[in-house]
Structure 1
């Protein structure tokens, strides 16, 4: 599909859970997503056990995609204790894997983290008591700080947040209430209130709800593939999302009375650590 002059299209899906025997099972889906969108967003649990073999299978499946791919890892990608091998295989395949970083595609800024658990609202776990509990809560706070840092770096008018764990309870509704604390954390929503975005995508909750909103009305989409397959069996297993492109600023017409154009002043940019 040709690029639109007025919109940017994103195809988002998570929880692929690629196994070593999954070769050939996702290429058609990825090709369809790449045809429909300007970029592909992957919301974690990309592999089933986080092994190098699984990551290489996924990289081969993604070889049919000719648009930019941005991803975050999920808890399954950490299962073998070597998430770096998953990142390495995907990076070599051209995937931009975010972990507290940001990138820009077609003028849209994307901030990405894995996220963490801890519960929502009044059901959030507090940092009180045993050191293990405090460490658990600190991990959620650390992920929230990484998201805030990534969002703060963005200067684009349009922004997207990419996570694995949910920042709100609304998109995990449908899961057993007993496991809500393990599906996400309200602490991940706080940076989204300070640095508003146009949309949030996450996975993880296979039996959750497709869409809900943050406190400030930002749409949050649960794009876990098992949920998409079950909820929309007649549609492709990815979420297609469009954002309007920013119209270029009009150049003011030259004055009919101007006799001489002023000599431009060149200002050298300050050195940047990100240069």
Structure 2
């Protein structure tokens, strides 16, 4: 890898929570074209469909085909609602999206790793695997998502990496949501995975529609809430642009 390739900045456009439904024909076509005109890569932070229907995924896929740059991203909890996330992922993959989850991707010498993530809480309020079997299963799901993220990040050898999530890894970017639901919006386990790697330059997520735009992991990695509703309030556009 030569010095020029490792130092050249790329522009990332990030958006989450599109919530495409069966009435959303052509809703995001112009937006994908616009993002492609301003960025080298587009990142999608989950909740791409409203109910996880294949019909919704097909509508989004048609709009995604108008994006002239690589698309990477993850699914969100809404994309699981109908119990067929694999089919949703396959439809979006065929339209050009790299679904990260188990595998990372490298584009223009920048590594991208991502998972949906899961709930569980933050810091001292993080739920532990103690007591009933149902609690242990719940916590194991949270741990597994963090484990997948860590493994994907470890597989990358690039000097710059981006972590893409749906659920938040920190409480700062969900501030604005009711405090009572903070444990259902993310988990510190995701931040712990991110902070194991010095080459992670930023993390992005969605999910918290009324959250805050920017925070940082305990180690200081910038984290951005790219739910389109949050970004719109911050920048006047439903997507955020980042130089990496």
Q: TM-score range by the shorter chain?
A: over 0.9
Aligned to 1:8: 10
Aligned to 1:198: 201
SS at match of 1:201: strand
Q: How does 1:95-244 map to 2 (within 5 A)?
A: 95-196=97-198, 197-232=200-235, 235-243=236-244
Q: CA deviation at 1:228?
A: 1.9
SS at match of 2:98: strand
Q: How does 1:23-34 map to 2 (within 5 A)?
A: 23-34=25-36
Q: CA deviation at 1:229?
A: 2.5
SS at match of 2:173: coil
Q: Is the 8 A contact 1:44 1:163 kept in 2?
A: yes
Q: CA deviation at 1:28?
A: 1.6
Question: Please, which runs of 5 or more residues in structure 2 have no aligned partner?
Answer: 1-6
Q: CA deviation at 1:236?
A: 2.0
Aligned to 1:72: 74
Q: Which whole-Å CA distance do the structure 2 matches of 1:161 and 1:209 have between them?
A: 18
Aligned to 1:254: none
**Alignment deviations for residues 37-75 of structure 1 (CA, whole Å, 9 cap, x no partner):** 001000000000001000000001111101000010000
Q: Is the 8 A contact 1:29 1:236 kept in 2?
A: no
Q: CA deviation at 1:6?
A: 3.7
Q: CA deviation at 1:199?
A: 0.5
Deviates more, 1:13-22 or 1:190-199: 190-199
Aligned to 1:270: none
SS at match of 1:49: coil
Q: CA deviation at 1:230?
A: 3.4
Question: Please, which runs of 5 or more residues in structure 1 have no aligned partner?
Answer: 244-275
Q: CA deviation at 1:100?
A: 2.7
Aligned positions, number = 237
TM-score normalised by the chain length of structure 2: 0.95
Aligned to 1:40: 42
Q: CA deviation at 1:29?
A: 1.4
TM-score normalised by the chain length of structure 1: 0.84
SS at match of 1:45: coil
Aligned to 2:3: none
SS at match of 1:162: strand
Aligned to 1:82: 84
Q: Is the 8 A contact 1:116 1:165 kept in 2?
A: yes
Q: Which whole-Å CA distance do the structure 1 matches of 2:90 and 2:102 have between them?
A: 17
Aligned to 2:61: 59
SS at match of 2:195: helix
Aligned to 1:260: none
The CA RMSD measured in Å over matched residues stands at: 1.1
Q: Is the 8 A contact 2:75 2:116 kept in 1?
A: yes
